[in-house]
Amino acid sequence: MSVAYDYSHETARDAAVVLRKQLLIDGRHVESVSGKTFNTLNPATGQVIATISEGNEADVDRAVAAARRAFEGTWSTMRPAERAHILFRLAELMKQHGDELAELESRDAGKPIAAVLRQDLPAAIDTLTYYAGWADKIHGDTVPTRSDALTYTVREPVGVVAAIVPWNFPLMIGMWKLAPALACGCTIVMKPAELTSLSALRIGELALEAGLPPGVLNIVPGPGRVVGDALVNHPGVDKVTFTGSPGVGRGILKGAAGNFKRVSLELGGKSANVIYDDADLDAATKAAAAGIFFNAGQVCSAGSRVLAHEKVYDDVVARLTARAEALRMGDTADKTTALGPVISDKQMKSILDYVDIGQKEGATLVTGGRHVGDRGYYISPAVFANVKHEMRISQEEIFGPVVSVIKFKDEADALRIANGTAFSLAAGVWSRDIGRVQRFAKKAKAGTVWINTYGYTDVRLPWGGAGDSGFGREHGTEALANFTEPKAVWMNLNV
C-alpha cells in the first residue's frame, strides 16, 4: 500500500489559526447561555482547529422562538418566487466561496480535499438550486366532488423544523435538509454534528448575506444528548428530520410523541453488492472497492457486504485486496489522496474492535484493518474473506473501511443473504443477464438498487429505506411532502 504520511501541510493548516465560532440565532452570532465551549479536531492530525460555543436547552429555546417568529412573520408568507431568489443567491455565494467551504469540510471531517471538490460541494449546490426551483411550484389540486361546491387542496409549510445532521457528510446532507425545508416555507433550527459544525455555521453566514431573514435558519452546535434531545422534545418544533444511527432514531421517535411531531429518519445500512460469475469483474470490483472505501467507509449506503458467486469468489477477493492495497492514504490537502482518516479516535477504536471480532468469529483478514501513521485516525482498508452470513461483521454496521466478502451459490442464495439483515437502504447487482438483475431489483429489500454500477445518488431521485434504515424519503418531489401539510378546502357555491 502506498502511504504518504507527510503531515507538514496539514499541520501548517491547523497551526495557522484556531477558529472561534458562536451559535447563530435570530440572525446574530451569540455565545451560549452557559458560556461553555468545545473544541473540534482535524481527524487527520488530532489537532484543535476550532473552539465552538456549546448549546444547551436554553439556547434551543431561543432558537425555536426565533424560528417561530420568522415563520409567522415573514418567511411562510413571503412570495414563493422571492424565497426562490434568496436560495439561488445562496447557491451563487456557495460557488464563490467554494474553495473556503471545501477547506473547512476537509479539515473538519477529515475528507480528502479532492473528494469534497468533486462530490460533496457540487452535490450541495445542486440540491440547493434544485429546490430553489421548486419554491414557486409547490401547489395543490382542484378535485371535482359535486356540482354545488368548489373543492381543492393546498400544501402549506409544516412550520419549525429541527434538522439534525450527521458528521459523515455535514455539508451535503445538511443541504439535503435545509434546501427543501426552506423552499417549502419552513424555518429551521439545525443541530450539526458536534464533530463537524464548521461548514454549517459558514452556510448560515452566507444565507444571511444572501438575504435570508433573521430567524429563518438558526444553528445550535452541541452534544446530541443535550441539543438534539431538547429539539426533539420541544413543543415548538413541528418536524424533525434526522440522519444517523438506528439507536438514536428510536429515541427520536419516542421524544417526538410528546406533541406528535412529524419525523423522517435516514438511518444505517449494511448494503449488499452482488457479483455474479458473468459480471465484468474488473468494473464490478473497482466499483465495489469505491463503494466501501469511499469516505473511509463512513457512508450509510456503503457496500460493506460484497456477495461473490462461488465460481469467481477467489478472484473477487484477490481483486478487492489489490485495490485496497493500492489506495493512497495520507495528507487530506493533497489532491492525490484517495483515503482519509475516520472521524475520531472513538470511531477508530470501534472499527478496530470489529476487525478483532471478525477474526475471532473465524473470518480471514486478508489485508488492512490496522491503525497506520503516528497521528490522526487512519485505518488501512480491510478485506475479510471466508465470511459467514451470520457473523457480526456481516450483520452489524461497522461504518468504516471494512468489507466482508461472502460466497453464494445461486440467485435464491444471493437474495437470501442480501435481504438477511435488519437494514434495507441500498443494494447492488452485477451481471450481464438482464432477467437476473431485474429479478433481483424487484425482490431486493432496498430503497435504491444499482445495476452494474454502485453508489450513485441524485437529488432528483428519492433516497431512503425501511427497517433499521429508517423511513421517509429525501430528495426529489418526495422531500417536499416532508415539509408541507396538505389542506382540503370546500367552498359552497350556492351561497
Instruction: Give CA–CA dist 181/165, Å, rounded.
Output: 14
Would the CA dihedral through 46, 47, 49, 55 be positive or negative?
A: positive
Taking Cα atoms as reference points, which of 46, 377, 14, 35 lies closest to residue 222?
Answer: 35
pTM score, whole prediction: 0.95
Taking Cα atoms as reference points, which of 265, 289, 260 lies closest to residue 275?
Answer: 289
37-53 tens-digit pLDDT: 999 999 999 999 999 99
Q: What residues act catalytically?
A: 266
Instruction: Give CA–CA dist 282/347, Å, rounded.
Output: 31
Q: What is the DSSP letter of 226?
A: I
Write the burial class of residue 79 (CB in 10 Å: 0-12 exposed, 13-18 middle, 19+ buried): exposed
Average per-residue pLDDT for the chain: 96
pLDDT at 493 over 50: yes
**Could you tell me if 426 and 454 are in contact, meaning their C-beta atoms sit under 8 angstroms apart?**
no
E strands, 112-231, in order: 149-157, 160-164, 187-191, 217-219
> In which band, very low, low, confident or very high, does the pLDDT at 4 lie, cut at 50, 70 and 90?
very low
72-100 tens-digit pLDDT: 999 999 999 999 999 999 999 999 999 99
428-438: average pLDDT = 98
∠ CA 181-182-185, nearest 5°, is 95
pLDDT at 228 over 90: yes
What region, left, alpha or beta, does residue 357 occupy, with left being phi > 0 and alpha being psi -120 to 50 degrees?
alpha
Q: Which residue ranges make up each domain of the chain?
A: 23-267+468-488, 272-463
> In which band, very low, low, confident or very high, does the pLDDT at 6 lie, cut at 50, 70 and 90?
low
> In which band, very low, low, confident or very high, does the pLDDT at 9 lie, cut at 50, 70 and 90?
low
| Angle, helix 121-134 to helix 170-183, in steps of 10 degrees | 10
Instruction: Provide the CATH number for the domain formed by 23-267+468-488 in this structure.
Output: 3.40.605.10
What amino acid is encoded at 446 in this protein? Answer: A
User: What is the share, in percent, of the chain residues with pLDDT greater than 70?
Assistant: 97
The top-level CATH class assigned to 272-463 is alpha beta
What are the φ and ψ backbone dihedral angles of 18, each rounded to 5 degrees?
-100, 115
pLDDT at 3 over 60: no
